[in-house]
Amino acid sequence: MTLSGDNEVAIQFPFFNVFKDGRVELLWSDLFPKTSPSHDLITGVRSKDVIISTEPQVSTRIFLPELKTPDQKFPLLLYIHGGGFVMFSAFDAPYHLLCNKIAAEANVIVVSVEYGLFPARPLPACYEDSWKALQWVASHADGGGSEPWLNDHTDFGEVFVGGDSAGGNISHTLAFRVGSIGLPGVRLVGIIMAHPFFGGTEDDEMWLYMCTNNSGLDDPRMNPGLEELAMLGCERVLIFVAEKDYLNVVGRNYYEKLKKSGWKGSVEIVENENVGHCFFLRDFNCEKSLELTQKVANEVDFIVAFMDPANSGLNEPRMDPGVADVARLRCERMLIFVAHEEDHLTVAAKFDCCRFVDDRSTYHLLHTQERQTYFTATGCANCLLPPAANLSTAVPILSSPVLFTLLS
């Protein structure tokens, strides 16, 4: 649409229009409903909002997993939402649900950053706000910070930074800063970038317009070179790209450049097949979303186990219990949920190969597939369920007496 005078559009970008008088009109805003912090009774995760700066206004939403002991320590993930640097919020329902899910599945404290957005606060505000949030987290490393959850429950030797889209880009810049100037009291183990934005697409000009102090197409925040990549201040990088995402190529380019840079850490790339950009924000329960969040959880579990001086390698019993470990269990009844038939067979083999406490002990595996829940009664001499039950017998677990039967 072209109008006369000040209402004439001078520049059209994918996310906003710029009028001749300098005004900026966002094409999308408030796409998602906001949600309040809460105590999730299903996962046990608690969340709360904390303002960390008033000038400029920077806040966070913190997610604390369920405590098993009063002094339990967790790894910490600083999460930075996406939205092209112009939209979305840490308080949007999809991001709240995502961070809650990561906190529960990875058993990690999540600090989700609410940073300044263009045009109210042009770039580099998003980078500075996110760095301020990471520094705020680090200020708790000696136990004297302003937030009790971080003082009491964070293991500052196991800190991660991650984000999606624009948040993936910001995550990279934070790791570069840590490598350049350090972050006292904190060990940044890794960064996790989901469908990250970097230069090399039609969005380059939009980023240059939004960033008031850019240095052109080779600005290291948009297009990091080998020298900048070699300085990343973390030990591991995990990159997700989506097969049908136009940013797929820039994520792959980042991966290849990082391998050539001389950086001493390890990098892995995972492609989400047959899906588009940030698909997981639209459907948390689809198979690909579950795979992505489980991969994030596995990444944290893997690194934490290998950083533990008490671990015993790939066969660490806390990660992969063997038959002998299972045989030492001291309980009479066990209920196990498995997501794939392969997992069902693996778990069943371990329990069937050992003498689980005594002949009276039973175990039950519930197999979830395509959002349905099925049950098997395997190795249960005194099971109250039909012994011939198999994966073709559907059980709506939350509306069925089966769960109560198994635990009775």
Q: Can 165 be counted among the known catalytic residues?
A: yes
Residue 172 confidence (pLDDT) above 80: yes
pLDDT at 377 over 50: no
Query: Mean pLDDT over residues 95-101, rounded?
Result: 95
The predicted structure's pLDDT at residue 124: 98
pLDDT at 181: 98
Catalytic residue among 165, 171, 261, 289: 165
Q: Does pLDDT of 71 surpass 90?
A: yes
pLDDT of residue 358: 42
More confident position, 340 or 96 = 96
Q: Identify the active-site residue in 172, 277, 364, 367.
A: 277
Q: What does the pLDDT read at residue 183?
A: 98
C-beta of residue 222 within 8 angstroms of C-beta of residue 199 = yes
pLDDT score for 375: 38
Please determine, for residue 149, whether its predicted confidence score (pLDDT) is greater than 60.
Answer: yes
Rounded to whole angstroms, the maximal C-alpha distance in the chain is 87
Does the annotation count 195 as an active-site position?
A: no
Q: Which residue of the set 129, 203, 245, 301 is catalytic?
A: 245
Average confidence (pLDDT) over 385-401: 37
Confidence (pLDDT) at 307 = 43
Could you identify the residue written with the tokens 């297009």?
223
For 375, phi and psi rounded to 5 degrees?
Answer: -125, 150
Rounded to whole angstroms, the Cα distance separating 52 from 34 reads 20
Strand-strand pairing, 266-272 and 236-242: parallel
Paired tokens of 215: 């240095």
Q: What is the CATH number of domain 32-307?
A: 3.40.50.1820
Overall average pLDDT of the 186-197 stretch: 97
Instruction: Kindly report the average pLDDT of the chain as a whole number.
Output: 82
Phi, psi of 332 (to 5 degrees): -95, -20
Task: For strands 9-12 and 16-19, give the pairing.
Answer: antiparallel
* Domain boundaries of the chain, sorted by first residue: 1-30, 32-307, 323-407
Q: What are phi and psi of 72, to 5 degrees?
A: -65, 140
200 versus 1: which is more confidently predicted? 200
Q: Which two tokens stand for residue 384?
A: 């109250």
Looking at residue 332, its pLDDT comes to 56
Of 80, 116, 72, the closest CA to residue 99 belongs to 80
Q: What is the pLDDT of residue 335?
A: 59
SS3 of residue 341 by DSSP: helix
Q: How many CB atoms lie within 10 A of CB 289?
A: 19
pLDDT digits (tens, 9 = 90+) for 195-245: 999 999 999 999 999 999 999 999 999 999 999 999 999 999 999 999 999
Residue 245 catalytic? yes
Query: Mapping DSSP to helix (H, G, I), strand (E, B) and coil, where does residue 19 land?
Result: strand
Is the CB of residue 181 less than 8 Å from the CB of residue 190?
Answer: no
Torsion, Cα 293 287 61 89, to 10 degrees, reads 120
More confident site: 373 or 350: 350
- What confidence tier does 300 reach under pLDDT thresholds 50, 70, 90? confident
3-class SS at 208?
helix
